[in-house]
Chains A and B, each alone.
Chain A
Amino acid sequence: MGVDPIAATAGAFAGVAVDISLFPIDTIKTRLQAPGGFFANGGWKGIYRGIGSVSTGSAPSGIMFFRDLY
């Protein structure tokens, strides 16, 4: 299973870019689904709240990707 390191790095960056740019949509979804509805759970305020855990999640999978595929 050979994977081009440039493609792998590009993939990792693309993943992070997608996570950051689409994060507000994910927040809106969570707030719509939460008990009480959209406005009771924050409405449009603090739309990037929780972004820290998304960036942390990419670290272990990044390590695994390079160890196993490359």
Chain B
Amino acid sequence: MIYINNVGAVFFVIYERCNEFFLPRISAFGTGIETSSAITHMLAASCGEFASCLIRVPTEVVKQRAQAMAEHSSLSAFREILAARHESVFTGLYRGFGITVMREIPFTMIQFPIYEAMKRWQARKTGKLKVNALEAAVCGSISGGIAAAFTTPLDVLKTRIMLAKQVTYFL
């Protein structure tokens, strides 16, 4: 998993908790263990992404405004949002929350299955039970690259919504 950054910790905390919560409840429907755990992983990953976006989105809005030279620094971008009169502080800081979740969930749904499959494939090829850290990192970069390639249009939308001066719609 190469997409780990500081927000990754929030993702994994929620992901693990949700796995524990959903697995017995979904198995109770009588689906097989393979299907149940696949559904559980997808649900738990979605919850994890939603939670990590609560922290990621405000920092992302501030960061992108500074990066695109709309503001001098992160601090001035942050002050600008606090002082804005045309929208509330909440909608200002959480600008683009919806589109960020809409990018992160397909990203995870594409990356995780490819990552897990690549690790199994490499382990079988080398005749080992588990891949080592370097092999896992390579699997993570390739799967992350594929997921990023597919979700780039959503990423462009996210950047444009976050940089827009005016709120057009809540996404």
CB distance from B97 to the nearest CB of A (A): 15
CB-based closest 5 A-B pairs: A50-B66, A52-B74, A58-B6, A57-B59, A65-B9
Interface contact tally, CB-CB below 8 A: 101
B47 smallest CB distance to A (angstroms): 14
The answer on a CB contact under 8 Å between B63 and A33 is no
Enumerate chain A residues within 8 angstroms of B6, measured Cβ to Cβ.
Answer: 12, 15-16, 19, 54, 57-58, 61-62
Q: Which of B55, B63, B155, B160 contacts A50 (CB 8 A)?
A: B63
Q: Which residues of chain A from 26 to 55 have any CB-CB distance to chain B below 8 Å in the complex?
A: 26-27, 30-31, 33-35, 41-42, 45-46, 49-54
Beyond the given A33-B155, A34-B160, please list 6 additional residue pairs across the A-B interface where CB-CB is below 8 A.
Answer: A35-B160, A42-B67, A50-B66, A52-B73, A53-B59, A53-B60
Q: How far is the CA of A45 from the CA of B67 in the complex (A)?
A: 10
Q: Is A69's CB within 8 Å of the partner chain B?
A: yes
A69 touches B13 (CB 8 A): yes
Contact of A68 among B13, B56, B69 (CB under 8 A): B13
- Total interface residues on B, CB under 8 Å, equals 34
The reply to whether the CB of B50 lies closer than 8 angstroms to some CB of chain A is: no
B83 contacts partner chain A, Cβ-Cβ < 8 Å: no
Tell me the dominant secondary structure on chain B's binding face: helix
A6 within 8 A of partner (CB): no
User: Which residues on A sit within 8 Å (CB–CB) of B9?
Assistant: 11-12, 15, 61-62, 64-65, 69
Minimum distance in angstroms from A30 CB to a CB of chain B = 4
The CA of A30 and the CA of B162, in the complex, are separated in Å by: 11
Structural contact, B77 and A30, CB atoms closer than 8 A: no
A11 to B6, CA, bound (A): 9
Once the chains bind, are A33 and B159 in contact (CB under 8 Å)?
yes
A60 within 8 A of B: yes
Query: Is A18 in the interface zone, CB < 8 Å from B?
Result: yes
Interface assignment of A1: CB less than 8 Å from any CB of chain B: yes
**B80 in the interface, Cβ–Cβ < 8 Å?**
no
Select from chain B the residue with minimum beta-carbon distance to A67: B13
A28 to chain B, nearest CB (A): 9
> A56 near B74 (CB under 8 angstroms)?
yes
